[in-house]
Structure 1
Amino acid sequence: MTGTAHAQDAAAPASTADDAPASMSLADIVVTAQKRATNIQDTPIAMRAFDGDAVLKAGVSDVNGLARLAPDLGITNDTQYTKITVRGISSQDHSETADPALTINIDGEYINRPIALNASFFDLERIEVLRGPQGTLYGRNATAGALNIVAAKPKLGDFQGYASGSYGNFNAFTGEAAVNVPLGEKVAVRVSGMHNQHDGYFNNEPAGRGSAGNTDAVRASIYAEPLAGVRVYLAGEYVNVDTTGIAQYGIVVANNGVLANPAFASGIVDVIPSTPALEGGGVPLRLRFDPPKSSFPLGSLGFTRIEQYAVRGRVDVDVGSIGTLSYIGGYRDVNSDVNQPLNGFAPTTFVQMYQKDSETQSHEIRLSGGEEGGFVYQVGGFYFNEDQYMAQGLFLPLAAGGSFLNYFYRPYVKNKSVAGFAQATMPLIEDTLSVTAGIRYTKDKKSALFINYGPQFGRGSAPPAQDDTTRPGRVEFNPTPLDDDQVTWTVGLDYNPSRDHLIYGKVSTGYKAGGFDNVGSFGAEKLTAYEIGSKNSFAGRTIQFNAAAFYYDYKDQQIPIFLDTSVGSQVVNAGKSRIWGIETDTTILLSPNDRFTATVNYLDAKLTQFEAARLGLSGTIADSDPSTPGLQPFDLSGNRPVQSPKWTIALGYDHDFYFGDHKLTASLFSRFKSAYFLQPSNSLAEKQEAFTQTDFTLEYSAPGDRFSVQGFVRNIENYKPYAFAGYVNAGGQLLINYIYGTPRTYGVRGTFRF
């Protein structure tokens, strides 16, 4: 799929062969990135938008598939957690008090847990990817940008629907369907569903095939216009994931005697003779590995079970000349039960077991008014509440039934956020020059109860009870609550020299809320972004060229550092980061039947100040003094942030062949990423080398687009980049684990519309 080209299709050509019609142009795309409807080419935000048809044809069923449409998104998986990076900014911490750096909304419902992103990508109107901080309209946790998922809405007076199914290698089967039913002139309902399954991508005998998939989802919605000027939308959604755990390959780098257990050797033992001296706080920075990517034995696969329910809605009321008063709200209940082997080889040595449940609700009231080209304003308030429960342990299946190396209970973790915001655009010169200014005040509160158990050797697989005070190593405490507030703002200038050209410049701020962990508290991230951009149409709107240049002053970036199994990770603020880059997007209609797209991005990102400490491999500050336990200091200044390739390039080409009223479309799309690191330590073993992935589709469309059949090959090169790579000091062993991206997939898809 050729990225944005599918959201910018040309006008339909004549039904004859390749003869061009008298005129052709790229179609307009209406987005709501500014929480009001605007043309994407008139919106002063670096962004992409994809309609539901592009998402369906690209086979995107969850957030991981977005990389096929938006290659400048960095998407990785740490077991079942999804991490998204935009312009070198991401959230690497997925603990219960952490927040994402990319604000994600589904029809305005705010999503705060990465585990909730496993499925909602079905029956969509569009997806919008906003790059850069969006702290005024979207608030906290929008330092990287925003991802807006817009579901297809019921349509009044229109009975319609579609059914689509595909089958491919790895015994992959997907099915998606929707039906829209009008109930009189003022009410309509829409029901849609999705099933997605495939066998494991990797041969992990004797355990079987790892990284399988099995997801079901259903959505029911209603839309009504009961009175003049009143519009009501309500939707309910259910998602169920029940599949194997994520297959990962592990290598034992060294053993130590941190834990007093005869199962482990004492002292450092380099299992690979070429292991260099351990530096960087216990990480061998210069050690390389060449792990297998298709077949490696695992002792067990584990399982991932996630069940979630969601209700969301919106009410718009026109209030005369004042504007429109809107309420947008959502509630979500997520329950997960995960058994994830961690060591990555047979027999299984470490298993992470956890249950994580969360209930979230978000509410926004907004008054907006004005007319495009004139004074436009928005003012409103936002409330978010999250309640979590977590039980998690690292299990070691040794003799006598095995042992837990730790067990953590979080009987409650509470997260509340309240905000007020206002933004307005005022013309300085009619239809030519305007200024935009916005401000937001946010108040955040977090509190929790922590119950930690240390190693439970020889006690079997039954975890310690939450209230068992007789077990050794039990610690119960209330971390210092977070009570913080922040003001974010934006100021921008938009210049339209003509209808087809926009030049903009702006300064924006964003922040990500702080929190606490087993070790202590950490502060909020703060970002000031300077950006200039231009959006242009040429040659009768057959060419679009958009460009943006940005500079980020990024302070106190939150980065998790793994200490040991007794306390887990500590989140530290990384001081300062410096990020700048240039992005270009080009779409060209070479003819009514030929479309070309190109994305070229350059990113220069660096941690300019980052001093921290972690537990050394031997548990000491200096290996020469084993009697002195403590932390090793290390300095990562000068390193690149994770998932920050210098170059991202994507090229796409489509050609339509016409045979009377029948159409055959061939599409080629290739994306390139230069080398990047998966961890801030920038060790060679955690480095992803440059790679290219190419997709090809051939689709037949019957007259009127009522029926289509598509053959597809994705990732022709069969290249599997690292989705995760990182060292772990667990149970007295230094391990490095690898998780891989999706291999080559191919198959056929059929879609029928009515």
Structure 2
Amino acid sequence: MNRGIWKRSMVLALLSTCAAAPALAQEAPADQSAAKPAAAAQPKDGPGDIIVTANRREQNLQDVSGVVQALGSDQLRKDGIVELRQLQQAVPGLSIANQEGNVEIFIRGVGSANNTELGDPGAAPHLNGTYIPRPRGLGLMFYDLERVEVNKGPQGTLYGRNALAGTLNIITAKPKFDSYSGYIQAEFGNRNSYAAEGAVNIPIASNFAIRAAGYYVNRDYGFRNVSTGAPAIGLKPAGLEENYAGRLSMLWEPTSRLTISVIGDYGKETGTGYPGANIYSAVEATGLTASDLDLRRVVYRGLQGKMTNELWGVQGKIAYDFDKVGMELTGSYRSVDFNQVNASSDGIDYPGRNLATEQYDNFSGNFWQTKSQSEVFELRVFAKKGQRFRWNLGAFYFNEDQQVGYLALADRGYCCYSGTEFTMPDVRGKSHAFYADGTYDVADRLRVLGGIRYTEESKSRYGIGGNWALTLGGANYACCLATRLGTEGFVPALLSRPNFDVSKINTPQGMAQFLIQGIASPGARDTLINQIGAIANGTNPAGNCFTRPDIDNGFVTCPTNTNGGFSYANLTIPGQQVGSAAFKYADWRLGFEYDLSTGHMVYGKVSTGHKAGGFNDSFNGSTVPETYRPEKLIVYEVGSRNTFDVMGRRAVFNLTGFYYDYKDQVFQDLTCINLDTTQTPNVCNGYSLVNRNIGASRLFGAEAEFRVALPYHFSVDVNAAYLDTRITNGEVADVRALDNSAGGKSPLISLVGNQLPLASKVNVSAHIAQWIDVGRGRFDWQVLANYRSAYYLTQFNNKDVVFLNGTRQTALQAGFPDRQPGFVTLNLGAGYQVNNVRIEAWASNLLNVQASQKELAGSALNIRFLNDARTYGARLRLTF
């Protein structure tokens, strides 16, 4: 740590500690030597207590030494936060994006964008405290809630697996024994959206109750199809959704000591999928940045986007009270079945683009298939409340089986290349851990805390990965005749392939058979089977040569002396993919808490977290590293939590300073996958992105929270975060300058000094609300405003692009601007309630700000994934 950073970190620490000084002077007892501070008089009104489970036990938020934000279901609904991504409008430092159906969570710039079977989340999602390994469809759980907790900073000791950045815990409403109750609600909004939600709580006996809840929504994300030619003009844009879900919860207390709970849920997402918008061609043509373009006006062509995601799960918990000791055994099974055909596009509309001249008959596209079956079990023994030493001992087990498929097709090419496939029918991951954690009262005012967790993990996969390629020669061996694949009605085989063993396929007939086996249903105008079917069945090793207007490239004709075949037919199929990795690591935390007086605590702690390591794609003869190690994060944190009196009303002010030491950071880097060692010097004929532990970063910052009630039933809640991030080590290939003529090689670029992606320096969320008695009922309104300063979308930080030949361009000139300017989002809500009937109106992202939340950069690719467009509407809610 250099001296400047150390000084700034100490300033933040001192500010955190000194924040309690005014309150201390006001409330310190006269006898400073007293063993315990005298209880202060409670203010009449103000923010109520918030109960959280950040330390795996229920605590008042003000007693937790750390930064946890908890939002109740009523507040979320009234503020217009109706889907998971909108949660970031209320939680500074939180970023949530949806790429091809996968939810990516970043907290304070830390997370993971690798959502394939090779990666894991960097911020751990949980449902009712149980780890969710694949957060596809996580938004389907966002209904009938009790609250949502965002725990910032590594939680490696208590929450373990992949809690590097922190945790997001969705806590659902539980059954109650004492009342038959529930609610139903219906809502309508702009963009042709409508939704319904309801729940009923049924007490079967004095110690047994069930709760049933359901949810339905039909909405779109605001994209528009601006294509003007057939067949693309009739395509539905990306982001259309029709989702539904249900949940059944059971709670039983057969004795005063024993509690049994079971929760089962089912959900299904359908619609047109979640691809991003490629702005590369628009930027190149206009010189405009994303902020000056309308990223929702998309030029669709070819395939109709389609997505289905079916998921279900069961959670169970058995808890027993042994007087001073409690025990919990939890178990969970979750299943995900995701399929998506990307809504294909030729980028976005832009000034000067002639949409009438576009080639809409182009079916290049991407197909995704992901299945996951996971089991999570945990046994925890803990000390009950009221003891001087409050401890947790636990054992954790995780097992996941995945089957994944991906196929990318290039249609209407002049020749040679048809697609890329990575399909893995057998992907396995296991993890088990043991942990101990506790808090000990050294004195009435002083507590020390500590914990340790030991983890072992293993991963493996088997399948295929690589290119589909056809090089079909014409007359006089001219190159090459074109191939079409993926036209109307095309369905890939992916996981339904009859064979995944390519180790012994080395003949043209075997390769042709394998390529055709990758097609479950050919497209209406596909040519591949017609061209190589004769090779596959052995009737003509030269295949079947023919031309057609849509594949006629104008300079290659069929030969006349090959029995109707090609002059040559070179076929390429994917290679065998076999990978495995195993790791062991430990996480720990140490800290203290000290009560300056009643309602005023200072604390300091050091804690660690890890994100799982893994392995890379395998290519024969390549220099790709087989595995990459787990990422590691050490955080130093100091802060204060304060409750005091403002004009006779309770107020809360909390301040925290932190410093992150981020090691073994994984960056994706280009590595040679086809090295020709017969030449001197050796020549690389192909590159691929791989994961490497080549990075390190440091982060420091501060977070503040202020909550107070004011006269006339006003309330104010402000959360602010300051974050400074710097990459301190890392050199990668610059994929923005990828040179296909050099086999896919790219120049190296240093990342040192760059900021982490998605890390705004300043992020402030302010919530103002008021209620007023009007007539027979009560009227309330609220405003949620969020300011987020500028941030970068990639690790390249808008740096110049220097090509292999030495040519230099700015990121904008090269088509890769990646800076998202600062912006403000504004949510409004209002409601009127009479007895058990409530009418509400809301607006989310009222200013209709268009912000990029993720970017994929590559050769001619600058794909943006966006925030939700403006939505507003009204709902009717009936409680009983």
If the length of structure 2 is used for normalisation, what is the TM-score? 0.75
Q: Post-superposition shift, 1:135?
A: 0.5
CA deviations over 1:531-569 (Å, ceiling 9, x no partner): 011111111552111111100000122233477998763
Q: Post-superposition shift, 1:417?
A: 0.3
Distance in 2 between residues matched to 1:645 and 1:668, nearest whole Å: 22
In structure 2, relative to structure 1, the CA distance for the partners of 1:402 and 1:182 (3 Å cut) is farther
In structure 2, relative to structure 1, the CA distance for the partners of 1:460 and 1:315 (3 Å cut) is same
Distance in 2 between residues matched to 1:564 and 1:217, nearest whole Å: 45
Q: Post-superposition shift, 1:677?
A: 1.0
Q: Post-superposition shift, 1:69?
A: 2.7
CA deviations over 1:194-247 (Å, ceiling 9, x no partner): 011114512113223431221100001111001220000001100100011235
In structure 2, relative to structure 1, the CA distance for the partners of 1:372 and 1:607 (3 Å cut) is farther
Flag the structure with higher strand content.
1
Structure-to-structure mapping, 1:410-421, within 5 angstroms = 410-421=424-435
- Work out which of the residue numbers 804, 808, 829 in structure 2 matches 1:697: 829
- Work out which of the residue numbers 724, 732, 740 in structure 1 matches 2:854: 724
Distance in 2 between residues matched to 1:220 and 1:246, nearest whole Å: 29
Question: Which residue matches 1:501?
Answer: 600
In structure 2, relative to structure 1, the CA distance for the partners of 1:228 and 1:543 (3 Å cut) is closer
Distance in 2 between residues matched to 1:699 and 1:401, nearest whole Å: 62
1:531 paired with 2:544, answer no
CA deviations over 1:622-650 (Å, ceiling 9, x no partner): xxxx6687453221111111110001012
Question: Which residue matches 1:481?
Answer: 580
- Work out which of the residue numbers 735, 753, 756 in structure 2 matches 1:641: 756
In structure 2, relative to structure 1, the CA distance for the partners of 1:93 and 1:721 (3 Å cut) is same
In structure 2, relative to structure 1, the CA distance for the partners of 1:289 and 1:396 (3 Å cut) is farther
Instruction: Tell whether the 8 Å contact from 1:563 to 1:614 is kept in structure 2 after alignment.
Output: no
Q: Post-superposition shift, 1:97?
A: 2.2
Question: Which residue matches 1:604?
Answer: 724
Query: Unaligned 5+ residue runs, structure 1?
Result: 1-20, 255-269, 275-285, 621-625
Instruction: Tell whether the 8 Å contact from 1:219 to 1:238 is kept in structure 2 after alignment.
Output: yes
1:242 paired with 2:270, answer yes
In structure 2, relative to structure 1, the CA distance for the partners of 1:709 and 1:562 (3 Å cut) is farther
Question: Which residue matches 2:769?
Answer: 654
Q: Which moved more, 1:678-687 or 1:229-238?
A: 678-687
Question: Which SS does the other structure have where 1:557 is aligned?
Answer: strand
Distance in 1 between residues matched to 2:185 and 2:414, nearest whole Å: 52
- Work out which of the residue numbers 116, 127, 131 in structure 2 matches 1:106: 127
* Residue identity opposite 2:462 in structure 1: L
Question: Which residue matches 2:659?
Answer: 551
What is the total number of aligned residue pairs between the two structures?
695
* Residue identity opposite 1:531 in structure 2: E
Instruction: Tell whether the 8 Å contact from 1:202 to 1:247 is kept in structure 2 after alignment.
Output: no
Instruction: Tell whether the 8 Å contact from 2:80 to 2:843 is kept in structure 1 after alignment.
Output: no
Question: Which SS does the other structure have where 1:603 is aligned?
Answer: strand
Q: Which moved more, 1:342-351 or 1:604-613?
A: 342-351
CA deviations over 1:460-479 (Å, ceiling 9, x no partner): 33657444642243354454
Q: Post-superposition shift, 1:157?
A: 3.1
Q: Post-superposition shift, 1:709?
A: 0.8
Question: Which residue matches 1:581?
Answer: 701
In structure 2, relative to structure 1, the CA distance for the partners of 1:452 and 1:161 (3 Å cut) is same
Q: Post-superposition shift, 1:728?
A: 2.5
Distance in 2 between residues matched to 1:124 and 1:629, nearest whole Å: 49
CA deviations over 1:483-508 (Å, ceiling 9, x no partner): 11101000010011222112110000
1:298 paired with 2:424, answer no
In structure 2, relative to structure 1, the CA distance for the partners of 1:200 and 1:301 (3 Å cut) is farther
Question: Which residue matches 2:323?
Answer: 320
If the length of structure 1 is used for normalisation, what is the TM-score? 0.87
Distance in 2 between residues matched to 1:161 and 1:401, nearest whole Å: 62
CA deviations over 1:168-192 (Å, ceiling 9, x no partner): 1011111110001011112111100
Q: Which moved more, 1:337-346 or 1:499-508?
A: 337-346
Instruction: Tell whether the 8 Å contact from 1:341 to 1:350 is kept in structure 2 after alignment.
Output: no
Q: Post-superposition shift, 1:588?
A: 1.3
Q: What percent identity do the matched residue pairs reach? A: 29
- Work out which of the residue numbers 402, 419, 426 in structure 2 matches 1:405: 419
1:166 paired with 2:187, answer yes
In structure 2, relative to structure 1, the CA distance for the partners of 1:689 and 1:578 (3 Å cut) is same
Question: Which residue matches 1:221?
Answer: 249
In structure 2, relative to structure 1, the CA distance for the partners of 1:375 and 1:125 (3 Å cut) is same
Distance in 2 between residues matched to 1:220 and 1:56, nearest whole Å: 21
CA deviations over 1:26-85 (Å, ceiling 9, x no partner): 211111111111111111120111122223333444421212332431112223222111
Flag the structure with higher helix content.
2
* Residue identity opposite 2:183 in structure 1: Y
Question: Which residue matches 1:514?
Answer: 613
CA deviations over 1:262-315 (Å, ceiling 9, x no partner): xxxxxxxx96597xxxxxxxxxxx987843234232115511210001001111
Distance in 2 between residues matched to 1:349 and 1:559, nearest whole Å: 32
Question: Which SS does the other structure have where 2:75 is aligned?
Answer: helix
Distance in 1 between residues matched to 2:454 and 2:783, nearest whole Å: 46
Structure-to-structure mapping, 1:129-278, within 5 angstroms = 129-205=150-226, 206=233, 207-246=235-274, 248-253=276-281, 272=285
Q: Post-superposition shift, 1:575?
A: 2.2
Instruction: Tell whether the 8 Å contact from 1:530 to 1:552 is kept in structure 2 after alignment.
Output: yes
In structure 2, relative to structure 1, the CA distance for the partners of 1:602 and 1:399 (3 Å cut) is closer
Question: Which residue matches 2:332?
Answer: 330
Distance in 1 between residues matched to 2:180 and 2:286, nearest whole Å: 70
Question: Which SS does the other structure have where 1:64 is aligned?
Answer: helix
Instruction: Tell whether the 8 Å contact from 1:100 to 1:112 is kept in structure 2 after alignment.
Output: yes
* Residue identity opposite 2:313 in structure 1: A
Question: Which residue matches 1:379?
Answer: 393
CA deviations over 1:583-637 (Å, ceiling 9, x no partner): 10111111250111212211001111111235674537xxxxx668745322111
Q: Post-superposition shift, 1:23?
A: 2.5
Q: Post-superposition shift, 1:403?
A: 6.6
Distance in 2 between residues matched to 1:629 and 1:434, nearest whole Å: 58
Instruction: Tell whether the 8 Å contact from 1:75 to 1:83 is kept in structure 2 after alignment.
Output: yes
Question: Which SS does the other structure have where 1:114 is aligned?
Answer: coil
* Residue identity opposite 1:586 in structure 2: F
* Residue identity opposite 1:441 in structure 2: Y
1:673 paired with 2:788, answer yes
Distance in 2 between residues matched to 1:657 and 1:248, nearest whole Å: 44
CA deviations over 1:411-448 (Å, ceiling 9, x no partner): 11111000000001111112x11000100000000111
In structure 2, relative to structure 1, the CA distance for the partners of 1:105 and 1:213 (3 Å cut) is same
Question: Which SS does the other structure have where 1:65 is aligned?
Answer: helix
* Residue identity opposite 2:307 in structure 1: T
Q: Post-superposition shift, 1:249?
A: 2.9
Question: Which residue matches 1:11?
Answer: none
Distance in 2 between residues matched to 1:644 and 1:350, nearest whole Å: 34
Question: Which residue matches 1:258?
Answer: none
Question: Which residue matches 2:802?
Answer: none
* Residue identity opposite 2:639 in structure 1: G
Question: Which residue matches 2:351?
Answer: none
Distance in 2 between residues matched to 1:221 and 1:482, nearest whole Å: 38
Q: Post-superposition shift, 1:251?
A: 4.0
Question: Which SS does the other structure have where 1:96 is aligned?
Answer: coil
Question: Which SS does the other structure have where 1:66 is aligned?
Answer: helix
Question: Which SS does the other structure have where 1:296 is aligned?
Answer: strand
Q: Post-superposition shift, 1:404?
A: 3.7
- Work out which of the residue numbers 859, 870, 879 in structure 2 matches 1:744: 870
* Residue identity opposite 2:272 in structure 1: T
Instruction: Tell whether the 8 Å contact from 1:247 to 1:301 is kept in structure 2 after alignment.
Output: no
